[in-house]
Structure 1
Amino acid sequence: MKKIIIFEVQGGSDKGPDGYRKDTMPMVQALQQRGFEAEVVFYDFERQQEILNDVLENACAYVSRINPGNLKHESAYFSMLRQLCENGIIGMPHPDAMIGYGAKDALVKLTNTSLVPADTYAYYSLQELFEQFPSSLAKGERVLKQNRGSTGEGIWRVSLVDEGEVPHAKSKIKCTEAKDNHVEHWELKDFMYFCEQYITGDNGMLVDMPFLPRIKEGEIRLLMLKDRPINVVHKKPQDHEDAFSATLFSGAAYRYDSPEEWQELVTSFLMQLPDVTKQLGGYDLPLLWTADFILDTNPDGTDCYVLGEMNCSCVGFTSELELAHDIAEAIIDRVATSTY
């Protein structure tokens, strides 16, 4: 039987003393306990062709465990993964699924579902930002999210200082960054020019969506193993006026729940999952991925859940390493039900 390759990259803050991610070797060991060969391969741009040839010859599938923030040659890596998939290697996930689910503009593609507000926009140029964002801001407080970055960097909560003002270039705005909930005051035009850094470069974009005040009650993260919720993380921001970030770095409090404790959310999301898959390219669901939700209120006063972000590039489970056995079973099932 051919190997299952787990891709990592050397370096980065997500590595343990042995040089691997802390959740990688438990996956390797769980696969080996089930009679499968599994090997970690460190991606190296300089050795890309060698790695490609070796995987094509000796492997049946790969699992990508690389944080894009640690990858200098992301487009080359994705190109290699695409070549592997085109030649029959089972991709977990396929690189285009990684892009489709992981990019912030996935939210814009889902505005025709009940998961995302209709007034959610993506900006791929400074001109688009200047043309649309003032009109968005006129409707109320907004959140701008860059496509790159992590731990809340480049995610800004933006409001007019003079509520009810028609936004213009000199409008005073209050901006709070999710990284650490710090507040800055800008003129609108200057802030939009500042945001150009998030739009330029590979995969640059900004997503603009309404700010949801009930984030104060916490963000709800579904940890998904393909189409099965296996854990729920409730992330409550710090309790002060400007705090809205749900990251540990910013001081948010985390609580781990079972999916059964969030049955209404889980049932609703699973019912819509086939449509989500279709809208995002029709690829197989990622092996391990997350969907983050924020509570909102329907016009009739009932609760609803708004999708704020998805991530499938390299979802960690270091706090629950026992999940490696469930993940190994899902990998084996994927291999068993595929031809290569």
Structure 2
Amino acid sequence: MAQNKIHKRVAIFEAEGGSDKTWNRHRKDTMPIIQAFKELGWTAEVIFFRDEWKEAITKYVIENCDAYIPRINTGNLPNGEAVFNQALREMCAAGVVGTPHPDTLMKYDSKLSLVDLNKTPLSLADTVAYFKWDELVKNFPTSLTNGKRVLKQNRGSTGEGIWRIQVAEGVQVVKGQALALDTKIKCNEAVDNHVEHHTLEIEENFLIDMRFLPRIKEGEVRIFLMGTKPLFVIHKKPADKQDAFSATLFSGATYKYESPEAWPELIKFFSSCLQHLTDNLGDVETILDWTCDFILDTDENGKDKYWISEVNVSCIGFTNQLDIGIQQEMARELIRKVLKKRF
């Protein structure tokens, strides 16, 4: 592809099938996105990716498209994402504008991003990762003596694999003194707030360990962005019932959609931290549509403080907000990225 040649064509990658598709085989927000590009004189086409078509798809996109938008949820390709990601790498290497590059996407989407950011104002400093079982049993029994913790498995969405952990009622705790592995613990999963009882002999090989923030009862706050521009905020408030801490709709949480102007302190703080994201996770300027979730805390002066709890970059949907022009914002932002790179 010539460095300054413009095709005015964008590839939108989707997976075949899935509950997020309608009768026309597309997501509900796909056709509005295509129309938004058409209104600006560009063509956007959907390409359903299969591993066996990798070479043909890669060649076609390199020869005919200026950019791609990946809209495939993790787990929706039958054989995983390895071949798909390699195809995207080859496209980027040939000059196609990736929004974003697959390595950047994986870095942001991974729950490890919370650990990668733990030396910045965005993430709690005591957030750690356990990559092996022996690391978990060596460190978590002491970590839990400092108060309730949240363990995040590297799987699932909408609260799956996110557990609030606390010692069972009646267990004696000495701060900094490791608990025995047979200590009984109470576990709540965020997917639906259900409770399970276990011991500290947890059989997992990869977990993120972070502090539980009790102000989650006031809600988790999600910023929806196009590029680096906040478009709206979702205030997700957990159900008002015992043991509830999940901010997912499935668990009974309520969602309130607000303008960024309704959250000036959060937006100002987040905007000041964009460079931290680039430095630790990859160039934030290459991302198209994405979300960042925050939980409230209180600083040493009694003022509100926000901690990042999750980042989502892959396959962000906005079927319920098509009336506020998100698809037009997407088209304009992608074209801006292409023109910036070409010229």
TM interval, short-chain normalised: over 0.9
For residues 1-340 of structure 1, the aligned pairs below 5 Å read: 1-2=6-7, 3-72=9-78, 73-161=80-168, 162=171, 164=173, 166-189=178-201, 192-193=202-203, 196=204, 199=205, 205-282=206-283, 284-321=285-322, 322-339=325-342
Q: Per-residue CA shift, 1:304-325, capped at 9, x if unaligned?
A: 0010010001111111113101
Q: Provide the rounded CA distance (Å) in 2 between the counterparts of 1:284 and 1:163.
A: 49
Q: Provide the rounded CA distance (Å) in 2 between the counterparts of 1:273 and 1:122.
A: 23
Of 303-312 and 130-139, the range deviating more from structure 2: 130-139
Q: Provide the rounded CA distance (Å) in 1 between the counterparts of 2:166 and 2:34.
A: 48
Q: Provide the rounded CA distance (Å) in 2 between the counterparts of 1:291 and 1:126.
A: 29
Q: CA contact under 8 A between 2:21 and 2:28: conserved in structure 1? A: yes
Q: Provide the rounded CA distance (Å) in 1 between the counterparts of 2:160 and 2:281.
A: 25
Deviation of the 1:276 alpha carbon:
1.6
Of 69-78 and 262-271, the range deviating more from structure 2: 69-78
Q: CA contact under 8 A between 1:223 and 1:290: conserved in structure 2? A: yes
Q: Per-residue CA shift, 1:7-37, capped at 9, x if unaligned?
A: 0011112112211111111111100111001
Q: Provide the rounded CA distance (Å) in 1 between the counterparts of 2:255 and 2:286.
A: 26
TM-score (norm 1): 0.94
Q: CA contact under 8 A between 2:287 and 2:313: conserved in structure 1? A: yes
Q: Provide the rounded CA distance (Å) in 2 between the counterparts of 1:244 and 1:302.
A: 22
Aligned positions, number = 329
Amino acid of the structure 1 residue aligned with 2:38: Q
Deviation of the 1:144 alpha carbon:
0.7
Deviation of the 1:283 alpha carbon:
5.7
Deviation of the 1:103 alpha carbon:
0.5
In structure 1, the residue corresponding to 2:52 is in which secondary structure? helix
Deviation of the 1:163 alpha carbon:
5.4
Amino acid of the structure 2 residue aligned with 1:183: V
Structure 2 alignment gaps of length 5 or more? 1-5
Deviation of the 1:333 alpha carbon:
0.8
Q: CA contact under 8 A between 1:94 and 1:283: conserved in structure 2? A: no
Amino acid of the structure 1 residue aligned with 2:244: A
| RMSD of Structure 2 on Structure 1 (CA) | 1.3
Q: CA contact under 8 A between 1:237 and 1:246: conserved in structure 2? A: yes
TM-score (norm 2): 0.93
Q: Provide the rounded CA distance (Å) in 2 between the counterparts of 1:283 and 1:221.
A: 17
Moved over 4 A (4+): none
Amino acid of the structure 2 residue aligned with 1:66: I
Amino acid of the structure 1 residue aligned with 2:100: P
**Percentage identity across paired residues of the two chains:** 49
Structure 1 alignment gaps of length 5 or more? 200-204
Q: Provide the rounded CA distance (Å) in 2 between the counterparts of 1:144 and 1:168.
A: 18
CA gap of 1:76–1:163, structure 2 versus 1, over 3 A, is farther
